[in-house]
Structure 1
Amino acid sequence: MPRAVHVLAFGIFAMVSSEFLVAGLMPQMAEGLDVSVSQIGYLITAFAVAMSVGGPVLSLALLRVPPRDALLGLFALFLVGNVLAATAVNYPVMLAARIVTGVAAQAFFGVALSLAATLTGPAERGRASARVMNGLMLGTLLGLPMATLIGERFGWRAAFWAISVLTLLAAAATLRGVPARAVTAERPDVRRELTVFRRPAVWWAFATSTLIIGATFAAFSYVNPVMTEITGFSSGTVPLLLVAYGAATVLGNLVVGRLADRYTVPVQVVGVLANAGFLAGLALLAHVPVPAVALLLGIGLVGVTMNPAMIVRAQRAGDAGLLLNTAHASFITLGVILGSLLGGLAIEAHGLRAPLWLGAGLAVLALGTLLVECTPAARARRAVAAAPSPASTQADAAPVDAAPVEAGAPGPESR
């Protein structure tokens, strides 16, 4: 696997650590900004809306920009948003900061996934996506607990400053580890990339991704108050629970990444069924510590870890271009919006268990969107998509780095 793929994962790690930070510091931020916990939850929604709407627009502007230059520019914008959050004097300023960081993060996801597809062949795109998305899982495992711990010890503003430093480190790694000019099979063309959105299979894939992530975030957005107010854990225990949850997502991502290329739809069906059961179980048993922790870990194993399979499905339905990847990421983020927004409304109406039941319901809906892929026509379509045309085979056959290979140096096949 090219080194650049791992560097891209580091960038995702920085982005996700900031995105999830709010979920880990809800009570502290609510007190510091003099607002309710549900209003802090809406910051997650605002971040997600900015990603969904602003990310694709920004990606259009970056379509002809060399990938590394685009990534560095997005790091700069992301840094501005985090500094603004660290110095926010009131809720509106914090809201603006989350919008800025959300737009930058979404475009970064699109560029990173497209570049990973460019640097690897079609048969390895599931694994490459899993490697890049390891940044998401490690953000849950390490970034979120780290930010939560810093926020609890030194104040929530310090957590945003820490993310700012992490952003600078990721930008430096990108400058050194990502090729200055990544070779692509074709010159980017807006009209060509837009044509894939005419395919119904693309929209079914987007719908599934939205509902899978929505089901997970209905619970995860409010894991702190659920675990402290219902289960009875202290606020100091929450970072440890988040570490365990993050470890489960890393393990799940490794497994799904291995299966995504060959069993794209079946792995999602199994994951969605398991997630629905875990979410419903947590809603019933949140007041009992041991089952509650076990069910939380189960959600970590089969929730956001479906990302590699979701990405492969969307790319096979359409292509691996920047616009499709960014649009798909927008629909994934739409799931965050549905989960956090509807979850907040459910809490206000029915209490802290309500978003868990909501998540189980969204998982059942996700299963319905997957059933369309089990028809004979859908299987035939996937078979055609899996067989590249002769014209594209040569372009996609091997991973490519922009840097020339010196005589006697190992080529891409040796990585």
Structure 2
Amino acid sequence: MVLAATMAFVLSNMGKVDMSVAMVPLAEEAGWGPSTQGLVQGIFYVGYCLACIPGGYLASLTGGRTVLPLALGLWSAATVAVPLAAATVPTMALSRFTIGAGQGTGPSAVVDIVGRTTPPEKRSNATSSAFGGLHLGTVVGLLVAPAIVDSLGWRALFYIYGGLVSA
């Protein structure tokens, strides 16, 4: 379970940093100025923050094993939709908000999974290992994204990163 949670966090953070790399060609193509770029980048964190408490409550009621796949599915679908959502600022903002909401539910779900499946004396190691996936995902995501954008275009980045969950 810890390995699955770690991989969920790796994928989650790859999907969190994708916009950081794609924003330059996307904004150039869409004609977005710095304010719009900031809105699109920042709205992710609004969704993330607003989902943390309800996500934790849902995980405590139904279990993280139920909530984590739903959260991953939500952010994955919203990530794959980014190239279509980029047609307008409101649809892009909605997509990024939804990605944030899906990812904001993950930490509570993982903590619930660890709490339910790991002996008390191993929970700190399990939690540390799982949450280490966040950092690994950031590093991997930022290392791989430029090559994808350069060779396949910014849209491919969202199809690939969003599609990794279903793989």
TM-score, normalising length: structure 1: 0.38
Query: Which of 48, 64, 84 is the aligned partner of 2:81?
Result: 84
Cα deviation, residue 83, structure 1: 2.2
Partner of 1:64: 61
Q: How many residues align?
A: 166
Counterpart of 1:63 in 2: which secondary structure?
Answer: helix
Alpha-carbon distance in structure 2 between the residues aligned to 1:143 and 1:118: 30
Matches within 5 A, 1:115-194: 115-169=113-167
C-alpha distance in structure 1 between counterparts of 2:25 and 2:11, whole Å: 21
Deviation of the 1:38 alpha carbon: 4.8
| Higher RCO structure (Cα 8 Å, ≥6 apart) | 2
How far residue 14 of structure 1 moved from its aligned partner, in angstroms, is 1.1
Q: Secondary structure at the match of 2:76?
A: helix
Contact 2:58–2:67 under 8 Å retained in 1: no
Asked if 1 retains the 8 angstrom alpha-carbon contact of 2:48 and 2:101, the reply is yes
**Greater share of helix:** 2
Larger-Rg structure: 1
- How far 1:52 sits from its partner (Å)? 0.6
Whole-angstrom CA distance in 1 between matches of 2:110 and 2:61: 15
Inter-partner Cα distance in structure 2 for 1:90 and 1:154: 22
Match of 1:110 in 2: 108
Match of 2:42 in 1: 45
Quick check: 78-87 or 95-104, which moved more? 78-87
Aligned to 2:29: 32
* Contact 1:78 1:100 (C-alpha < 8 Å) held by counterparts: yes
When residues 32 and 90 of structure 1 are mapped into structure 2, their CA distance, relative to the original with a 3 A threshold, is farther
Q: Which sections of structure 1, spanning at least 5 residues, go unmatched?
A: 170-415
2:82–2:158 CA contact under 8 A, matched in 1: yes
Unaligned runs of 5+ in 2: none
Percent identity reads: 22
Q: Is 2:97 the partner of 1:96?
A: no
8 A Cα contact 2:27 2:33, kept in partner: yes
Deviations 1:114-142 (A, max 9, x none): 21233334443332222112211111221
Q: Answer yes or no: is the 8 Å Cα contact 1:84–1:93 preserved in 2.
A: no
Q: Is residue 12 of structure 1 aligned with residue 14 of structure 2?
A: no
SS at match of 1:164: helix
1:55 aligns with 2:52: yes
CA contact (8 A) 1:24 1:145 kept: no
Post-superposition CA distance 1:271-323 (Å, at most 9, x none): xxxxxxxxxxxxxxxxxxxxxxxxxxxxxxxxxxxxxxxxxxxxxxxxxxxxx
Amino acid at match of 1:51: Y
